[in-house]
């Protein structure tokens, strides 16, 4: 699933490419993508004819603010990514009219298209069809749990170490799980929790209430450093993620722990190990991330 750096990459692209444009039509072959409002005609009435005024990220959600106080929310979920380009729909199948990255197979699972007034289109490619779209009055959309229950933004300037530490106060569970809890901190998933804890030198299965202050500080610094680096590299494309032009990010070239099972640790040469936690795989170095109470 795209995490904070991948979603931020998309948002920064969209700010350059589609702000100021007007949505003039919508096409989909998978109306179930729209979770609110349920009826396609009502959804279209919420957005068609409206100008895109600004675009923001909140956690893993893309927020497209429209004229008339409307808000369009897109969550790309597991395999979704937004693309900007031009397609021709033939036999209800979108065909790219632009050569290059958009022709890549991973970009050809288009199930949703927003037509814009400059002849460009905003398309959602989503192999697994898990992505979510919602639209309505801004106040109404912000009341949904998707936004209302989100935790702190890791890169917010106001999110100091003291506030970070407070987010863990009274929490229970393994530190990897707690980092991925969107109600505590927004935007961290499986990839970056592995990477953050490796850089911090913290055992991923350590109980959060047993973490020392120096460990929390290391996690906080690592979180901010890694997110900034990953955004600079335009996200992680080990799986399906692509940017709005259909191109891969490069963070997967710099993994230190995630999906490196059996490979040597870059710090001490110990073999990286894989573990299961809550039905998901994690990765760590048993030497430099060993369990300690010191």
Give the catalytic positions in this structure: 2-3, 60, 280
Q: Which residue has the tokens 């036999």?
A: 91
CB 265 within 8 A of CB 197: no
Report how far Cα 154 is from the mean position of its chain's Cα atoms.
13
Q: Which residue has the tokens 């037509």?
A: 115
Tokens of 221: 């610094």
Q: What angle do CA 83, 31, 121 make, to 5 degrees?
A: 25
Phi-psi group of 93: left, alpha or beta (phi > 0 → left; psi -120 to 50 → alpha; rest → beta) = beta
Looking at 152-189, list the stretches that DSSP marks H as alpha helix, in order from N- to C-terminal side.
161-167, 175-179
Q: Which residue has the tokens 């573990």?
A: 275
Selection from 64, 48, 89, 76 nearest residue 14 by Cα: 64
CB 207 within 8 A of CB 173: yes
- Can you tell me the distance from the alpha carbon of 6 to that of 233, in angstroms, rounded to the nearest whole number? 10
- Can you tell me the distance from the alpha carbon of 186 to that of 169, in angstroms, rounded to the nearest whole number? 17
Q: What angle do CA 160, 192, 174 make, to 5 degrees?
A: 80
147 to 61, 66, 182, 187, 210: CA distances (angstroms): 8, 17, 10, 12, 30
């Amino acid at each position: 699933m795209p995490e904070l750096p991948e979603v931020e990459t998309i948002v920064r692209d969209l700010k350059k490419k589609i702000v100021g444009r007007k949505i003039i039509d919508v096409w989909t072959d998978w109306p179930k993508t729209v979770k609110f409002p349920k009826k396609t005609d009502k959804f279209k009435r919420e957005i068609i004819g409206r100008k895109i005024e600004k675009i923001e990220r909140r956690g893993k959600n893309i927020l497209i603010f429209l004229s008339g106080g409307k808000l369009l929310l897109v969550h790309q979920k597991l395999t979704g990514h937004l693309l900007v380009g031009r397609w021709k729909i033939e036999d209800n199948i979108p065909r790219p009219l632009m050569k290059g990255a958009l022709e890549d197979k991973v970009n050809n699972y288009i199930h949703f298209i927003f037509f814009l007034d400059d002849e460009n289109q905003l398309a959602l490619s989503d192999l697994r069809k898990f992505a979510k779209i919602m639209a309505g009055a801004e106040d109404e959309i912000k009341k949904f749990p998707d936004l209302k229950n989100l935790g702190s933004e890791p890169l917010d300037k106001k999110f100091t170490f003291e506030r970070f530490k407070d987010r863990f106060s009274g929490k229970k569970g393994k530190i990897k799980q707690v980092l991925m809890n969107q109600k505590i901190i927004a935007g961290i998933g499986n990839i970056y929790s592995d990477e953050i804890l490796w850089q911090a030198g913290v055992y991923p299965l350590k109980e959060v209430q047993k973490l020392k202050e120096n460990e929390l500080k290391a996690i906080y610094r690592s979180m901010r450093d890694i997110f900034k680096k990953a955004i600079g590299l335009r996200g992680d494309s080990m799986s399906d993620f692509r940017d709005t032009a259909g191109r891969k990010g490069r963070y997967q070239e710099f993994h230190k722990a995630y999906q490196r099972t059996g490979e040597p640790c870059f710090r001490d040469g110990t073999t990286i190990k894989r573990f299961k936690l809550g039905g998901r795989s994690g990765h760590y170095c048993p030497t430099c991330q060993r369990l300690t109470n010191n």
